Structure 1
Amino acid sequence: MITIADLPWDRVDEVLHLALGPGQADFVGAIGDMVKDPLPTRDFHVVRESSEVVGFFKIDRDYAPSHDFAEPHGWGLRGLLIGAQYQGRGFGRALLAALPGYLAGRYPGQALYYLTVNCRNTRAHNAYLSGGWTDTGGLYHGGSSGPQNILRLETASL
């Protein structure tokens, strides 16, 4: 059973042990770099299994101005990472199943989220689709590792 919670900026050391698996650097940044994000419009969140930190992600409340595919009121999910040392235990699947409800409760006035996932990362793409995200059919070409599928999640009906 996982839990998701806010991660205050002064407690980012709690996630620094999360490792990238082989080949993952093409799709997500190293955790030490991700927590150096200076923008106050990006909220950090931690994923725990019992008291053990197993994952991390950010919500970007200022996503739409820098992503022309996003509707003006759309926010972004960024930097989702389940540490390599915790992968293969169902934590990612559990997180994606819990995420829509968590977001609806944590951000009650916000109903639309976007993310991009590298076209080569079919495993993550399928996991997001299973977690309730829909593929818009569009591609984002602003990433450093090639084209990315654009996905969206609407939490208004929760």
Structure 2
Amino acid sequence: MVDASVFEPYQPEPSGRRLPTEMVHIRDGVLADVPACVGLVESVLKLDPAPWEQSLTASITDPQRMLHVAEDAGQITGYARSTFWTRPPDAPANAAPSGWYLLGLVVAPEYRRRGIGRALTVARLSALASRTSEVWYFANARNQSSLDLHATLGFVEVTRDFWFPDLTFDGGEGVLARARFDDTSS
């Protein structure tokens, strides 16, 4: 569980100075990026970095996962993951459906509110558009910045009553949302 205190404070309009697009490069992650991403897990999310090295490495080496990074002057300033998840046969009735999920968008605090999270999300959606007709995403109901970002990219709330393995939300409530590439209906 990620403590809600690590979320970007909600502001409906960006307030930070946006970096020129050519300064921040969004690209597919490579194995050499894993240590910097693990560092963001520890410094931004305040989580134990030990289990994250394996997970982030798998996001590069497993064809059912993806890692995108934001880089500024050779420094990794953020990352975002995607994964294909298969609903287990013994899952509860309210289990999230099988499909591609956007996971783990992390941006260093000094780079927030500059369009990096949006750019990382657009990169993931672009990469997934050829693989699927829909993408899923979940967030803590308290993370209004994330909910707003994803809504502007076509995500529509589906439910707040869902199960996903090993997932709990600070405050107890999450939002499951979906974006479709083939149409705009929910």
- The TM-score with structure 2 as length reference comes to 0.62
Larger Rg: 2
Work out the CA distance in 2 between the residues paired with 1:124 and 1:45: 17
Alpha-carbon offset, residue 6 of structure 1: 2.1
Q: How many residues are matched?
A: 145
Larger strand share, 1 or 2: 1
AA paired with 1:79? Answer: G
AA paired with 2:174? Answer: Q
| Bigger relative contact order, structure 1 or 2 (CA pairs below 8 A, ≥6 apart) | 2
Which residue of structure 1 aligns with residue 71 of structure 2? 48
Alpha-carbon offset, residue 154 of structure 1: 2.0
CA RMSD of aligned residues (A): 2.9
Alpha-carbon offset, residue 131 of structure 1: 2.2
Residues 81-127 of structure 1 deviation map (CA, whole Å, 9 limit, x = unaligned):
112231132322333345433432xxx23222111111111221111
One of 108, 114, 126 as aligned partner of 1:101: 126
5+ long unaligned stretches in structure 1:
none
Residues 27-46 of structure 1 deviation map (CA, whole Å, 9 limit, x = unaligned):
xx566643421753433221
5+ long unaligned stretches in structure 2:
1-20
Alpha-carbon offset, residue 50 of structure 1: 5.7
Residues 139, 123 of structure 1: CA spacing in aligned structure 2 closer, same or farther, 3 A cutoff?
farther
Partner of 2:96, secondary structure, is coil
- The TM-score with structure 1 as length reference comes to 0.71
Work out the CA distance in 1 between the residues paired with 2:68 and 2:48: 16
Residues 48-99 of structure 1 deviation map (CA, whole Å, 9 limit, x = unaligned):
34644221121112x13257332x4x21111111122311323223333454
Maintained 8 Å contact 1:141/1:148: no
One of 29, 38, 48 as aligned partner of 1:7: 29
Maintained 8 Å contact 1:134/1:151: yes
1:120 correspondence with 2:142: yes
